[in-house]
Structure 1
Amino acid sequence: VVYVNNDFPYCASRKVDNAACIRYSVGQQENSDFWADNISYSAEGTTFNLHCPDGKSIEFATCLVGEFNISNLIPAIAVALRLGMTADKVKFAVARIEQVEHRLNLKRTPAGINIIDDAFNSNPDGSRMALDVLSRMDPGRRIIVTPGMIELGEKQWDYNKQFGERIAKAADVAIIVGRYNRDAILSGLKDANMPEQDVHAVDSFTQAQELLMKIAGKGDTVLYENDLPDTFK
């Protein structure tokens, strides 16, 4: 059985003799055999419905968050079901999958602040997914702490400006760390009309943490997006 994510149609050109090609997608797409919808994020993780070829819909819960994680889970679930595992056993296994450290890793502080740790690295697609998760977190304010993205060549400014525009739509408070991408991100935030009082520029993560201690409270969610060393000025 060959599973093809409809987000990457070029995979369909690969042919395997005597194999069925079963397609999956996040969100309903034409010709998808398995597809997920009703995706909901919370401090506990994600719930979603998986629609199967037999017309049935199965609700899953996982501590993982982010569209890419759902996209990775769907083919694994599909394989398990095709191999004869019961839906209950698959649901149990999915619920027990552990998070990967610093990759949209959910935590909660003793003070009741939700943390989304996506500090391992950042890129345009990954930051978009992280902001999507942040935007759906309720109640409380949504706060992002980020130095922006690096190693993007001649697109560095443009991508970080677009990042700023997306931050303005997803977050209530933005804390921009360091000077490396500051101007580009602030330009995007301004163009997207994020209120100036909700935008903070600091020179180090130490300063960001000190600011968070003053402004973050119970029920708020903080996204750490990338973790560049303070040598990136």
Structure 2
Amino acid sequence: REPEHYQDGRFYIKVEDTQRALRDLAFWYKEQFRIPFVGVTGSVGKTTAKDMIASVLSVKYKVLKTEGNFNNNVGLPLTLLRLDRSIQIGVVEMGMDRFGEIDYLGDIVRPEVGVITNIGDAHIERLGSRENIFRAKCELLPHIQKENGLLVLNGDDALLATLRGKTPVPTVFCGSGEGLEYRAQSVSSEGLDSLHSRITTPGMDREVRIPALGSHMIYPTLIAAAVGEHFGLTADEIEQGITRFVPTRMRMNLVQRGDGITILDDTYNANPQSMRAAISVLADSRSAWKLAILGDMFELGPYSPALHIGVGEYLGKRKIDCLVAVGDQARYLAEGARSAGMTAVYPCADKKAAREILPELIRPNSTILVKASRGMRMEELVEQLLELTPEQ
């Protein structure tokens, strides 16, 4: 379709398919630079892994990385079009919600290093099973460069572990299990400040401080160490990159109000696995009052009620004091929490209803987790929490 009005001084190219044209343009442009790329996919933790990898590599190299959620068939080509002659390595995130998308993106990037963080329930509505999600993520494998190529996988993930000895390029596994090439041991937290872990790799064996929340952060740390070693970084350089990691906005951001109340802003997105990880961070806090404000998880299809109930049950098992459940699926979160023994449970049809009850639920020395899928826009409740006065 031609534009209604042409602007003077602009060039126009008429194509049959704008998406395909953008893909072809980005591929051609990328090929002018001849630099290596790292392609990151997975059900949970893609952005965190991408950011940690970029933090490590940037100690030694000038790095281009995916910004925001530019990880699809439009955003990824636009990311590649940001390349300039100063860039030495690209780190790009690859998202998908159906078969064929990772194949499409992988063919554009053709990474030297491929990363799959894990296999979870995100997008199970479209794909039907974790096994199908696994197959969709594995579309990345044929596109990894055969020369100097490397595949980095989560060795604690049962489905990804089945790939050992079956991949087209050398592969390393990361996690806490025995015998993994990149392993984290003796993981401990410093409250809501950071983690400490002994990191063992082919090139390093040392205690490392990880400036992030939650024991699940060992995975992006180990993945980044594997990528760093592949590109020739020393143990000191890798540790430096890990310690200067900064999480993306609305991804487990620690917000201190200054009056003893802490907000865990994890509102960017949610699925059952990331919900459990966030709840674990809340449970491990040393606060007198632990409040979870959780909204709907989208794209779970017919599995949605059971998966929301499961998250609610996990809340109860981790001894969270209070739940405010927001959205169409709130009743299932509440049902699960009550079945696990929680009594302070408040299902709310929408954010307006939640806003009305929150003032009476804020107490001194609280830690408050706020999390839901992106479409819920739960950051609006974070803004309210910053203004509320706690009940004595």
Partner SS state of residue 241, structure 2? helix
Distance in 1 of aligned mates of 2:188 and 2:282: 11
* Number of the residue aligned with 1:134: 282
Change (3 A) 1:95 1:186: same
Distance in 2 of aligned mates of 1:65 and 1:43: 6
Shift of 1:84: 4.9
**TM-score when normalising by structure 2:** 0.51
Check if 1:40 corresponds to 2:188: yes
Change (3 A) 1:209 1:61: farther
Among 346, 360, 368, the residue aligned to 1:222: 368
Aligned AA (1:22): V
Query: Which runs of 5 or more structure 2 residues have no equivalent in the other structure?
Result: 1-149, 379-392
Q: How do 1:99-114 residues align onto structure 2 when only pairs under 5 Å count?
A: 99-114=247-262
Change (3 A) 1:188 1:38: same
* Number of the residue aligned with 1:205: 351
Distance in 2 of aligned mates of 1:66 and 1:129: 7
* Number of the residue aligned with 2:178: 30
**TM-score when normalising by structure 1:** 0.81
Aligned AA (1:49): R
Q: How do 1:79-158 residues align onto structure 2 when only pairs under 5 Å count?
A: 79-81=227-229, 83-87=232-236, 89-158=237-306
Any conservation in 1 of the 2:193–2:213 contact (CA below 8 Å)? Answer: no
Distance in 1 of aligned mates of 2:295 and 2:282: 17
Greater Cα offset, 35-44 or 130-139: 35-44
Shift of 1:2: 4.4
CA displacement 1:80-137 (0-9 Å, x = unmatched): 35625143x4333212111111122222112222221111121111111111222111
* Number of the residue aligned with 1:50: 199
Distance in 1 of aligned mates of 2:342 and 2:369: 17
Distance in 2 of aligned mates of 1:215 and 1:45: 27
Shift of 1:47: 2.3
Any conservation in 1 of the 2:326–2:351 contact (CA below 8 Å)? Answer: yes
Among 14, 22, 40, the residue aligned to 2:167: 14
Aligned AA (1:184): Y
Among 138, 142, 154, the residue aligned to 1:5: 154
Change (3 A) 1:81 1:225: same
User: What RMSD in Å do the two structures reach over aligned CA positions?
Assistant: 2.6
Any conservation in 2 of the 1:111–1:217 contact (CA below 8 Å)? Answer: no
Instruction: Kindly name which structure, 1 or 2, has the bigger radius of gyration based on alpha carbons.
Output: 2
Aligned AA (1:128): R
Change (3 A) 1:149 1:193: same
Any conservation in 1 of the 2:338–2:345 contact (CA below 8 Å)? Answer: no
Shift of 1:74: 0.5
Distance in 2 of aligned mates of 1:219 and 1:80: 40
How many residues are treated as equivalent by the alignment?
220
Any conservation in 2 of the 1:112–1:217 contact (CA below 8 Å)? Answer: no
Shift of 1:169: 1.9
**Greater relative contact order (CA < 8 Å, ≥ 6 in sequence):** 1
Report the identity percentage: 22
* Number of the residue aligned with 1:177: 326
Partner SS state of residue 286, structure 2? coil
Whose strand proportion is higher, 1 or 2? 1
Distance in 1 of aligned mates of 2:346 and 2:278: 20
Distance in 1 of aligned mates of 2:333 and 2:249: 26
Aligned AA (2:325): I
* Number of the residue aligned with 2:307: 159
Distance in 2 of aligned mates of 1:40 and 1:142: 20
Change (3 A) 1:139 1:59: farther
CA displacement 1:159-214 (0-9 Å, x = unmatched): 11111101112211111123x1122122112211112xx21233443553554443
Distance in 2 of aligned mates of 1:229 and 1:15: 41
Aligned AA (2:368): V
Query: Which runs of 5 or more structure 1 residues have no equivalent in the other structure?
Result: none
Shift of 1:78: 3.6
